[in-house]
Homo-oligomer: A and B are copies of this chain.
Amino acid sequence: MKSNTTEYLKQHRVKPSFQRIKIFDYLITKKNHPTADIIYKELVNEIPTLSKTTVYNTLKLFVEKEITQIINIEDNETRFDADISTHGHFKCLNCNTIYDFSFDDKNINIFDIEGFDKIQTHLYIKGICKTCKN
């Protein structure tokens, strides 16, 4: 039986290799906005022959095929998200957790760039999460 991921990758013109399926499954189930290194360190336990280059190559491919987005909330680390719906990211400056949130795209009044073609929107908020406040 083929997994959902296999079909999903095929639909987006990504050949579903063993490593690619594992990496995509990791992203979609964990939803933790990991760095390439975090993905590698976790998956190398399951796949001892895994190469870090493969993780980088695969993530780059996913981004090209638009099934993964890059999260640049912090300048010293590139993070990845297989949820490509338009949603915002909140990083807690205390516990470093990155939370998803939704926002009303239409409701933002944007000035000064009328007539520009807007392709991607990224909304990042930093602060202290509810858990850390208590």
Report which A residues bind B (CB closer than 8 A): 70, 72-75, 78, 88, 90, 92-93, 99-104, 107-113, 115-130, 133
Task: With both chains docked as a complex, state the minimum distance between the C-beta of A81 and any C-beta of chain B, in angstroms.
Answer: 13
What's the Cα separation between A104 and B93 when bound, in Å?
A: 24
Instruction: Tell me which of B93, B108, B123, B130 contacts A107 (CB under 8 A).
Output: B108
Q: Given known contacts A75-B78, A115-B133, A123-B123, what 19 new A-B pairs fall within 8 Å (CB)?
A: A88-B110, A90-B113, A93-B119, A99-B112, A99-B113, A100-B112, A101-B110, A101-B112, A102-B110, A103-B109, A103-B111, A104-B109, A107-B108, A113-B125, A117-B133, A118-B125, A118-B127, A120-B125, A121-B123
The 8 A-B pairs with the shortest beta carbon distances in the complex, nearest first, are A104-B109, A101-B112, A119-B127, A117-B128, A72-B72, A122-B124, A120-B126, A75-B78
Q: Which residue of B is nearest A90, CB measured?
A: B113
